Amino acid sequence: MRIATWNVNSVRARTDRIIDWLGRSDVDVLAMQETKCKDEQFPYERFKEIGYEVAHVGLSQWNGVAIASRVGLDDVQIGFEDQPGFDKDPEADPVREARAIGATCGGVRVWSLYVPNGRELEDPHYAYKLDWLAKLRDDAEGWLKQDPDAQIALVGDWNVAPTDDDVWDPAFFEGKTHTSQPERAAFTAFTESGFADVVRPYTPGPGVYTYWDYTQLRFPKKQGMRIDFILGSPAFAARVEAAEIDRNERKGKGASDHAPVIVNLG
């Protein structure tokens, strides 16, 4: 079985490209982030035509996550149990954004995750990001304690570059989000809870990225970041036989600023 994650940066703008890629990649399960549409706007029929069921949650033109599967799509859950919400007005009730969706696909519990960006270190969104990651970690640790043999994949755009090898220039990111010590510690906490970065052993760095900003010719200059990950439970990690980052999908007109990340399971 092949499982992939891809921040598509608008599923409606890139439907043809995604459908074509699914036809070429032989991926069984695709987790998508930043779909940027409401549920009723998602192009379900295009996926159905090529044999994929889709579970999606989208509340507006921002955020949005989905799972497309041709090996079953069961027990769909929108948001994890303790997922926090956010509102820029501290007096308002926090809104749980469309940033997490889970489903069981071919015996694997897949979570498509779009971790908050954080914006700036002093922004309330940064504190929200750290809380979001901490709550997800606590819940994920609980899932493993409940069933140590569970096959769980936490996949998506984590908006964290865990090491200096994961950015094109560490000095450029000093004092900015994505590389701060608290964010890196929040990411590492997942590995301490038993989840493994199952892609990195097959795609070692430095200089191996999953995201390149549209500005400043970042892609041709190879100035990227590794921020898209597949973290697997022990039972899931034991099945991984290969992994890749499809850098070619960042090329050409109309590409997302992220590349798909794929694992092969035995």
Bond prior to 206 in cis (omega within 30° of 0): yes
Mark whether 157 is an active-site residue: yes
Mark whether 164 is an active-site residue: no
Q: Which helix (H) or strand (E) holds 145?
A: helix 124-146
User: Out of 157, 166, 197, 228, which one is annotated catalytic?
Assistant: 157
- Residues 72, 110: contact at Cβ < 8 Å? no
Mark the binding-site residues for Mg(2+), compressed into ranges. Answer: 7, 34, 157, 159, 257-258
User: Out of 28, 52, 56, 114, which one is annotated catalytic?
Assistant: 114
Strands across the sheet containing 74-78 = 74-78, 100-105, 108-114, 152-157, 228-232, 196-197
CA distance 142 to 136: 10
CA distance 63 to 114: 7
In order of 22, 44, 52, 138, 252, the CA distances from 26 in angstroms are 6, 19, 12, 33, 21
State the DSSP code for 144. Answer: H
State the DSSP code for 217. Answer: G
CA distance 175 to 173: 6
- Tell me the two tokens of residue 241: 């036989």
Mark whether 114 is an active-site residue: yes
Active-site positions? 114, 157, 258
